Chains A and B, each alone.
Chain A
Amino acid sequence: MKSFFSNQINKGYAVIFGFVALTVIFSCYLMYYGAVFYGVNEKGDALKESMVKKEIRAATVEGSIVDASGDIITYSEEPGVSARCMYNSYSQLIGFNSAMYGRYGLRGRYEEVLFTGDKNHQGSTVRLTTLNRIQNAAYDEIRGTEGCVVILENATGRIIALATSYPGIEMDVNDLSSNWNEMNSSEHDGFLIQNWRKALAPGSTMKPVTATLVFDEGLSDEVYEDTGSEKIGGYTFHNAGKGVNGSIRLNKAIVKSCNTYFAHMTNEIGLFNLKERAEAFCIGRQLELDFCTVSSGHHLSDSTTEEVAAAGFGQGQLLLTPINIALIGEAIANGGELKQPYLIDSIYNADGVSYTGETQVLSQACSREAAEYVSSAMLDAAESYGIDRKLGIHAKTGTAQVNGMHRASFLSFNDKYTVCLVENNTRKSGKNLAGSAVRLFKLLDSVNEVKHE
């Protein structure tokens, strides 16, 4: 050691060697830090990818969103300029894509395709299954309320309209700054208000599900003596308005929306059958759709006897979203076949079509006979709501009690479409929404055909 320290040449070379080592180590580090070679630095790779994405995005004209007929919903003409939305009825559905406010809704979910440029640096176009005319009309029906409209095409599961609204908030995604404070002060805390994802008690719109079960269990002809009340467990159930229906069968029970009948039948059929049937209708299952995830719940396994009975007519531990309610109508209209709703018709750019939405059968929710029976009863029910039988509309209303207020729902379908209207936090009953449903059906009929590509 001492000889090393007394020899200056050795020490000089030691210093040189130190710097050689530093240069080599640093050069390697630089390549690692800069994520030059893919797969070596995972965090760096992720950062690099997000950076590239950001750059591509800045150089790409945001892709358009169009309806099924090709009518424009959002469009942009310049790279880096956020697309403009043409209709407020779509605001909560398509959402926004903003550096300041974040990315939500369809524009958040499909950010990558909307900013994946073709040879002209134009992002891909996302074609929806909706029709602007129907969407706008649906939105007009619920504007100013905490409402939601879901319209499905029975044969395919295509979503023709999906509108949502909130009192006092007219969201304009083209000018987020002006209503951002309003959005943040609402219970939704700045996120999009998508009532189709809000799961609450469905009320009597659950009865068609129980009815299919009653039919399939061979109890449809069993006569029930309705005295206006039914005691199950420690709880006495009553009909709405304390009504008494006398001797009734399933058909009349649906038309009269008899709570005691369905509580009695559910108690007879039992928890496991109801649970199985509910799940066949996608209740209590998580639905992964192409634009959002819808969660509903039944908690039947943890319920008491009276809670299970209450679930039979749409109260108790049941939580359904408007999409779940619409699916009940769609399945009955399709003879028990439940088809997955979808919103994205196709995604394409100048280089070709990259995605096409397809019809998928989720389950055979009930027997065809049960579906036809319930469908027929719902036609009678629609007539009892004052809807002209000639219109061919089948319907069932629902009015659930939620925190002292109503959740009014109106489930209806004809041979082509299912229309579900829901209004939360209201004093209305489901029957009050019948007029809106009829107007929407008439409008749907006036649209000659939905163009598919």
Chain B
Amino acid sequence: MIKNTIKDAGWLLGLNAAFVVLLVLFAVNRGLGDAMLSIVIPMLLITSAALFYTYRFSGDTVTAIASALLLETGQMTQVLINEETSAQSTVLLFVSPFLGVIGIIAIHLMQKIDYSDRIKSVRTLSILAGSILVIALGLLIFGRNINGTKAWLVVGGLSLQLTELFKPLYIVFHAVLWSAPFRHRTRFLLSAGITFGSAGLLLIINELGTLLVILCMWIILTFLYSDRILDTAISFGGTVLTILGGYAVMGLIYNSVKKTISMGEAPNGVMKKIFQIYDKLRQRVMIVTDLDQYLAEYKDEASRQPFKAREMIMKGGLFGTTRRTTIPIENSDYAYVGLILRCGIVFAVVVLVLFFIIFCRSMIRSVRISGKYESIVLTGAALGLILPTFINVMGTTNFSFMTGIAVPFISHGGTNMILSVFNVMLLLWGSCRTGPDIAGRIGAKFSGSRRKNPPVPNTIPFTR
């Protein structure tokens, strides 16, 4: 008990240190008044909310606080990027608690799902798979193209990035699939089917970021939850071969169509469509090795993003700067680079570490948890946070190719924010199955018998 309390207190102190760094950097950039208003008050609110969750559900306090810090960092980043006034940033004060309430609702909804018998599992799976397909097809028909991807649905002036829903649906689908008593081959085929089905649809609407997240998720989930080496080999090899092979075949078609066009002939419909998809892909997945050559070739403002992003990283240096560089889509795809510019590489790495802490805590709990469903939810939700983060930050910093995916918490966007909080709630919900931590223990000490135990769903345990 004492040992655990000291360990937890250590975590909290560490996280508070990150909070202090955040506060100082914000104060340097925006002044102390803004720092108090934009960080301290919302931070107190959200920390209280986080502690309440962990007290109520015995969830992981470290995850809650780290998530709260990330949520606050995201808001700070948006305030800094948009150069909002204090009056505007006060509006953001209410965003964090509001999202917290949404999270509570999400947790309660999760508790109510009963997937104990096979028939209900099949029904749940069908609903989940159907939802994924409906969203994908809906986007294909009604989707609005914003920033190069047809991932948006505009209803009455409200823009929703529906592809964000893919990730939690995909996680829950796999949690149900792997915890239900299917035959091994059926399970793997269903898993591969939904993965490649959604990947194909995402490719058509040019949403490469989510596509990549789903493929990575599939490989890692297969690796973790399948006992057969062959499954992992197939998922990894199949994915790599599909991507490279598909890209190569499309490249061949592209060149052949290009040749046809240069000869003054018109290509047929299908070939032309593939040509167009590949042309978009080629530009989106380009890793810029020679910036000078790249700039000579691509002269429009949007194509200069990699160059501008590098300028921002250089200007930001280790500890950030007040010098400015404007870049298109800075508040969304390039929010992480915007954060580097304003708060520096050190702070940006701290942000990555916060994501990493959440991921580690959840992974450790996921392998200790008794139910396979909870374990996959925990792993999937953790991957749902860390994979988009890494894919985005590596793309925007030219470490890998740029796919245009939002960084959870940091990038602008209501759908992204809500889904990020939903992911955290899944993590907290899963973590409450592995025993209380500091907040839970303190809560239990003071509230005694009045504290309600969290409801435990009927799960199918798996053997290690």
Contacts and interface: CB of A to CB of B under 8 A. Distances in A.
Given A11-B224, A48-B314, A36 B345 contact: yes
Interface string A6-21: 1111011101100110
A257 to B, nearest CB: 54
Nearest to A11: B224
Contacts of A5: 227-229, 232
A51 interface: yes
Contacts of A30: 313, 340, 345, 348-349, 397, 399
Given A27-B349, A35-B314, A7 B397 contact: no
B316 interface: yes
Contacts of B399: 26, 29-30, 33
A31 B364 contact: no
B229 A26 contact: no
A13 B223 CA distance: 12
A179 B360 CA distance: 66
Interface string B214-255: 000000100111011100100000000000000000000000
A23 interface: yes
Contacts of A35: 314
A171 to B, nearest CB: 28
Contact of B220 (A6, A7, A9, A15): A15
A19 B386 contact: yes
A27 B318 CA distance: 11
A44 B227 contact: no
Contact of A33 (B313, B317, B359): B313
A47 interface: yes
B39 interface: no
Contacts of A36: 317-318, 345
Interface in B327-363: 340, 345, 348-349, 352-353, 356, 359-360, 363
Interface in A25-81: 26-27, 29-31, 33-36, 44, 47-48, 51, 55
Contacts of A13: 367
Contacts of B394: 26
Contacts of B188: none
A387 B316 CA distance: 69
A176 interface: no
A2 interface: yes
Report which residue of B345, B352, B367 has the largest number of chain A beta carbons within 10 angstroms of its beta carbon. Answer: B367
A26 B393 contact: yes
B29 interface: no
A99 interface: no
B225 A8 contact: yes
Contacts of A11: 223-224
A1 interface: yes
Size band of the interface chain A makes with B: 20 to 34
B311 interface: yes
B412 interface: no
A22 interface: yes
B316 A34 contact: yes
A364 B340 CA distance: 62
A12 B397 contact: no
Contacts of A48: 314
B397 A29 contact: yes
A19 B359 contact: yes
Given A19-B359, A22-B390, A6 B313 contact: no
A16 B360 contact: yes
B80 to A, nearest CB: 18
Contacts of B228: 5
B232 A33 contact: no
A7 B462 CA distance: 12
B358 to A, nearest CB: 11
B78 interface: no
Contacts of B220: 15
A19 to B, nearest CB: 6
Interface residues of B, number: 40
A30 B346 CA distance: 10
Given A15-B220, A16-B363, A8 B313 contact: no
B54 interface: no
B224 A12 contact: yes
A168 to B, nearest CB: 33
Contacts of B116: none
Nearest to A37: B318
Given A1-B229, A47-B314, A51-B315, A8 B224 contact: yes
Given A8-B224, A26-B394, A34 B229 contact: no
A12 B363 contact: yes
A12 B348 contact: no
Given A15-B220, A19-B359, A55-B323, A2 B397 contact: no
B310 interface: yes
Contacts of B450: none
Contacts of A23: 352-353, 356
Nearest to B225: A8
B61 interface: no
A34 B224 contact: no
A367 B229 CA distance: 95
Contacts of B379: 12
A99 to B, nearest CB: 14
Contacts of A31: 345
B464 interface: yes
Nearest to B313: A34
Contacts of B393: 26
A15 B464 contact: no
A47 B310 CA distance: 9
Nearest to B390: A22
A5 B359 CA distance: 21
Nearest to A10: B367
Interface string B397-408: 111000000000
B366 interface: yes
Given A5-B232, A19-B386, A29-B399, A34 B353 contact: no
Contacts of B311: 51
Interface string B267-306: 0000000000000000000000001000000000000000
A48 B307 CA distance: 12
Contacts of B318: 36
Report which residue of A16, A19, A26, A36 has the largest number of chain B beta carbons within 10 angstroms of its beta carbon. Answer: A19
B235 to A, nearest CB: 13
Contact of B367 (A2, A9, A19, A34): A9
Interface string B373-411: 000000100000010001001100111000000000000
Contact of A9 (B323, B386, B464): B464
7 contacts: A15-B363, A16-B364, A27-B349, A29-B399, A30-B313, A34-B314, A47-B291
Interface of B: 220, 223-225, 227-229, 232, 291, 310-311, 313-318, 323, 340, 345, 348-349, 352-353, 356, 359-360, 363-364, 366-367, 379, 386, 390, 393-394, 397-399, 464
Interface of A: 1-2, 5-9, 11-13, 15-16, 19-20, 22-23, 26-27, 29-31, 33-36, 44, 47-48, 51, 55
Given A5-B228, A6-B227, A12-B363, 16 more contacts: A5-B227, A8-B225, A9-B464, A12-B366, A12-B379, A16-B359, A20-B356, A27-B352, A30-B313, A30-B349, A33-B397, A33-B399, A34-B310, A35-B314, A36-B317, A51-B315
